[in-house]
Amino acid sequence: MFRRAFWFTTGAAAGVWATTKVQRKLRSLAPDALAVRAAGKAVEGGHRLKDFALDVRAGMAQRESELNSALGLDAPPGPPPGPPLGHVEAPGLPGQAPRPQLGPAHHRQGTERPHDRNEDH
């Protein structure tokens, strides 16, 4: 009698355990659960990508400072050199060469090009 009760209880426990396992698996494969899991993975991947980008930026800044040190570009800039004594600047922006006068548009285009720019191509 105890033997039958033991096996009956063991079978019932195994059935409950198997049913619970199957129900959990079915719930994890439901569309809404899959969507939640995919969204979580996407967010996790985004965080990894952000961390990678920050590491790359930090490495770039470090390498740039190393190169600036090696080339002597990290020294503070001195005052800009002024024009030599007796130098007279042309009208316009400082240090800018005067622009040549080009004339009307048809002289710049040449004779073989049409003058109407609104023409369909």
Question: Residue-wise pLDDT tens for the chain (121 aa)?
Answer: 889 999 999 999 999 999 999 999 988 889 898 999 999 999 999 999 999 999 999 999 999 999 999 998 876 666 666 666 655 555 555 666 666 666 555 545 555 555 556 655 5
User: What pTM was computed for the model?
Assistant: 0.42
Burial readout 100-119 (b: 16 or more C-beta within 10 A, e: otherwise): eeeeeeeeeeeeeeeeeeee
Asked if residues 90 and 98 have their Cβ atoms less than 8 Å apart, the reply is: yes
CA distance 65 to 1: 85
pLDDT at 73 (0 to 100): 86
